[in-house]
Structure 1
Amino acid sequence: MLVGYARTSTLEQEAGLEAQVRDLTALGCEKLFREQVSSVATRKGLEAAVEFCREGDTLVVTKLDRLARSVVHMGKIIAELEAKGVALRIVNLGVDTGTPTGKLMVNVLAGVAQFEREMMLERQREGIAKAKVEGAYRGRKPTARAKAAEIKALAGEGLSMAKIAKQLGIGVGSVHRVLSPEAA
């Protein structure tokens, strides 16, 4: 059985998730697992997909970066799949670990992908440092402070911190900081 796994990092990437699902369905995946979560967060959908797979199945992803965040992580996923007798297919690379060449290729490509990500993060850090020196970088706009009046008004109405956070689209910790005695 072909088992598909689709992932995007954020809710704003809905079109990307739909495209992956469409491609996996067109390839004949009988069971699909999908989620919208960062690669560094716990991925319940991936865990469920790997758990669902049985001997002889193939786990299919459209791209390598939808599956693993590092060579070590990829190695763990492949080891878990191999222990169950499950192959891995990465569509855009034409790689299938059901063959010896496919196993070699996925390990090489995982190394390249990790290197590429590390280089991108290094360039990002350099860009931020340069922007700070030039006075052009101020970081993310503090959303909770901008909504402090709304937070206090909703708290005055008796709403819980969790309900305030949900209603305003901010974190509970942000609500707590605004409502804490030190913030007054």
Structure 2
Amino acid sequence: MTKIGYARVSTVDQDFEIQQQRLKAEGCVIVRSEKVSGASRDGRTELATIIEFLREGDELVVTRLDRLGRDTRDVLNIVHDCEQRGAFVTILDPHVSTRGEMGHLILTVLGMVAQMERRFIKERQREGIEKAKTIGVYKGGKVRIDHRRIREMSALGTSVTAIAKEIGCSRMQVYRVLNAK
């Protein structure tokens, strides 16, 4: 049985070091991390790799359910995919595992709460933007990566992976910039 940890943050300027440390302290032999939204499974290559790697008796461990996902259906599908491979899912805070029947029920409820929380966050964000627009202080989101530099590096023949490492972003973000020409 192998414990495999998964750490995720939503934006490039967030840090998942605390998650990684906690997962290692819980005995995770492997910890995979990525900076990508938890709104859906799209673009979450590290999570896909973990699920593909899981074997009978392995355990996928995350610090909180919202690190696994913020959509109930996605979370339940992830759990189902893990179970199809004979593996378990464990959430550390609050401690819930799919090893027991109660774990499934609790994960379903927590998944619904995470999805509802995401809707509340988006609603508050939208309200804040509308208010800022009405008083004339909204300038739009801050640019986190240098689109011009990405295009220049690509034009010079630099690989997407090398660009992502140099800029400090995911390969998916590099592809988005290059495809938005």
Normalised by the shorter chain, which TM-score bucket?
0.7 to 0.9
Q: Is 1:162–1:172's contact at 8 Å kept on the other side of the alignment?
A: no
SS of the counterpart of 2:37? coil
Q: Deviations over 1:125-164 (max 9, x none)?
A: 11211221222213136799xx99x9xxx8xxxx93777x
When residues 83 and 143 of structure 1 are mapped into structure 2, their CA distance, relative to the original with a 3 A threshold, is closer
Q: Which residue is 2:124 aligned to?
A: 123
Q: Which residue is 1:138 aligned to?
A: 139
Question: Deviation at 1:38?
Answer: 2.7
Q: Is 1:7–1:35's contact at 8 Å kept on the other side of the alignment?
A: yes
Q: Does residue 91 of the first structure (1) align with residue 86 of the second (2)?
A: no
Based on CA coordinates, which of the two structures has the bigger radius of gyration?
A: 1
- What TM-score comes out, normalization by structure 1 length? 0.75
Question: Deviation at 1:46?
Answer: 0.2
Structure with greater proportional helix content: 1
Q: Which residue is 1:23 aligned to?
A: 22
Q: Which residue is 1:12 aligned to?
A: 13
Q: In the aligned structure 1, how far is the partner of 2:5 from the partner of 2:141?
A: 36
Q: Deviations over 1:79-104 (max 9, x none)?
A: 11121121110001110111111111
Q: Which runs of 5+ in 2 are unaligned?
A: 168-173
Question: Deviation at 1:61?
Answer: 0.5
Q: In the aligned structure 2, how far is the partner of 1:143 from the partner of 1:60?
A: 30
Q: Deviations over 1:16-48 (max 9, x none)?
A: x22111111111112222222233441110001
Higher relative contact order (CA 8 A, sep 6+): 2
- What TM-score comes out, normalization by structure 2 length? 0.76
When residues 35 and 102 of structure 1 are mapped into structure 2, their CA distance, relative to the original with a 3 A threshold, is same
When residues 108 and 135 of structure 1 are mapped into structure 2, their CA distance, relative to the original with a 3 A threshold, is same
Deviates more, 1:84-93 or 1:28-37: 28-37
Q: Deviations over 1:27-82 (max 9, x none)?
A: 11122222222334411100011111111111100111111130011111011112
Q: In the aligned structure 1, how far is the partner of 2:92 from the partner of 2:143?
A: 40
Q: State the identity as a percent.
A: 39
Q: Does residue 160 of the first structure (1) align with residue 155 of the second (2)?
A: yes
Q: Which residue is 1:182 aligned to?
A: none
SS of the counterpart of 2:14? helix
Q: Which residue is 1:100 aligned to?
A: 101
Q: Could you say what the CA RMSD is over the residues aligned between the two structures, in angstroms? A: 3.3
When residues 79 and 45 of structure 1 are mapped into structure 2, their CA distance, relative to the original with a 3 A threshold, is same
SS of the counterpart of 1:13? coil
